[in-house]
Amino acid sequence: MATPVDPAEFFDPLNPVHVADPDEFMKASRKGCPVAKVSEHLYTANTDDVVRSVFDDTKRFSNRGNFSVGAEDVRFPFTVVTMADPPDHTVLRSRLLKSMAAARLRKLTPEVENIVRDAVGALPASGRVDLYADYVHFIPSAVLYALIGIPKAKWREVQTWSDAVVRVIPEPAHELPEFAALMGFLAKCVEERRAHPGDRHEDVLDNLCWADPGEVEMPALEVVCHIFQLVVAATDTTRALIANCVYRLLEERDRWEAVVADRSLLPNAIEESLRVDSPAQFMVRTAVEDVTLAECPVPAGKKVYLNIQSANHDENRWGEDSRTFRIDRPGATAHLAFGRGIHACIGAPLARIEARSAIGALMDAFPGMRLAPDAAWVKCGGAITRRVESVPVWLNGEQARSARQATRRR
């Protein structure tokens, strides 16, 4: 029998109240209902062991319908990698990896550092800023556009369209004017590349526009769909990682100071951020046959909400302090924030490079930075992304102290 859900207690991804502040509901689910039926179509999997096992089980679970928590699936004119199953997935992923293998992504490091340097340079020397809007926001999209091969002069414009689109995902975006603008622009990029066969580049556009022997020639619309999927996968997630990690470091001053003094602690702090505040909260799989998960029967055709965030807070996996951010947490990389198995995140090495560069540069420029006294952890809207809404800081420690004293006097 499917375990009955008490909506007042167990996590329900269809309940906006739970989505806005999910941690206590997820904890209740881990303790009392690891797998639960929450609607006619949807089951949740909330513990590390179950989420891990479904990620690994590509025979009994399909990626079609990924991201959709309702009856209707998000539809693309061509199947994109994150919604494909083998053997199509294997072919598509290998094609993408030609321009996105870890070694190729690492080669982007100088470009990432340039983008970060410009972003730090655009901040004032001191005073109050919102690090999310004024610093973090542009970095991941600029890096992605460099990887894709979008001309630099168009980056700002493309970002306004892609932000409007990413904001509504996983709801359908195709009726937005920005969606049409983005798709039209990408189609033009494909056309321009294909008009100049002698002009080759080491980027995603080049890879998808030109087939090597044995590869399929992709129609322009298919190239556009794969690039669109990258825009959705790479921007908000990486922004969330950088913003969340800076917030958690500044939230407890000792953490920030420890990492400023010893930068070798930064990579583990980034992994801990991915675990405690997982930027992609969930993925969705569809059962292709009747299965039983943690004693809960899931009939063929039903969807399973893989609760990445809850798995990453699982006390059985991470101990009783699982929701505490510890820069020295042992084994922090074992989180599921980048998924696992054949669909594990292709962009993970790039997201890590960006986070190290963006946070390291802030520490170099503003070691005395402090959270503004009125800063609060508020999760941004939207079901998929877990990101702090804003990161108000005083860039200079002295100013931060006087602002705090003024707040206390009030």
Catalog residues that contact ligand HEM under the rule CB under 6 A: 63, 66, 81-82, 93, 144, 147, 230, 233-234, 237-238, 241, 279-280, 283, 337-339, 343, 345-347, 350-351
Q: State the Cα–Cα distance between residues 240 and 357, nearest whole angstrom.
A: 15
Residues 6+ apart with CB under 8 A from 298: 35, 43, 287, 290, 291, 292, 304
Rank residues 234 and 363 by Cβ distance to ligand HEM and give the closer one.
234
User: Closest distance between ligand HEM and the C-beta of residue 38, in Å?
Assistant: 19
Q: State the Cα–Cα distance between residues 367 and 362, nearest whole angstrom.
A: 7
Answer positive or negative: Cα dihedral of 166, 346, 115, 206: negative
SS3 content of the chain, % helix, strand, coil (to 5): 55, 10, 40
User: 224, 371 in Cβ contact below 8 A?
Assistant: no
Q: State the Cα–Cα distance between residues 33 and 37, nearest whole angstrom.
A: 10
Say which residue the tokens 């989180």 belong to.
Answer: 335
Rank residues 91 and 258 by Cβ distance to ligand HEM and give the closer one.
91
User: 187, 220 in Cβ contact below 8 A?
Assistant: yes
Say which residue the tokens 């179950």 belong to.
Answer: 50
Rank residues 104 and 370 by Cβ distance to ligand HEM and give the closer one.
104
- Torsion angle (degrees, nearest 10) of CA 263, 266, 268, 274: 180
Strand partners, 42: 303
Rank residues 5 and 140 by Cβ distance to ligand HEM and give the closer one.
140
User: Closest distance between ligand HEM and the C-beta of residue 32, in Å?
Assistant: 26
Nearest to 149 by CA among 209, 79, 82: 209
Rank residues 44 and 82 by Cβ distance to ligand HEM and give the closer one.
82
Distances, alpha carbon 289 to alpha carbons 42, 61, 88, in Å: 15, 8, 20
Rank residues 37 and 275 by Cβ distance to ligand HEM and give the closer one.
275
Please write down the HEC assignment for all residues of 21-40.
CCHHHHHHHHHHCCEEECCC
Which residue sits closest to ligand HEM, CB atoms considered? 347
User: 296, 37 in Cβ contact below 8 A?
Assistant: yes
User: Closest distance between ligand HEM and the C-beta of residue 338, in Å?
Assistant: 5
Say which residue the tokens 């089980």 belong to.
Answer: 57
Rank residues 88 and 192 by Cβ distance to ligand HEM and give the closer one.
88
Question: Got the DSSP string for 276-300?
Answer: HT-SB-EEEEEESS-EEETTEEE-T
User: Closest distance between ligand HEM and the C-beta of residue 409, in Å?
Assistant: 40
User: Closest distance between ligand HEM and the C-beta of residue 373, in Å?
Assistant: 29
Rank residues 306 and 327 by Cβ distance to ligand HEM and give the closer one.
306
Rank residues 45 and 230 by Cβ distance to ligand HEM and give the closer one.
230
User: Closest distance between ligand HEM and the C-beta of residue 81, in Å?
Assistant: 4
User: Closest distance between ligand HEM and the C-beta of residue 93, in Å?
Assistant: 5
User: Closest distance between ligand HEM and the C-beta of residue 121, in Å?
Assistant: 23
User: Closest distance between ligand HEM and the C-beta of residue 63, in Å?
Assistant: 6
Q: State the Cα–Cα distance between residues 70 and 373, nearest whole angstrom.
A: 40
Rank residues 361 and 395 by Cβ distance to ligand HEM and give the closer one.
361
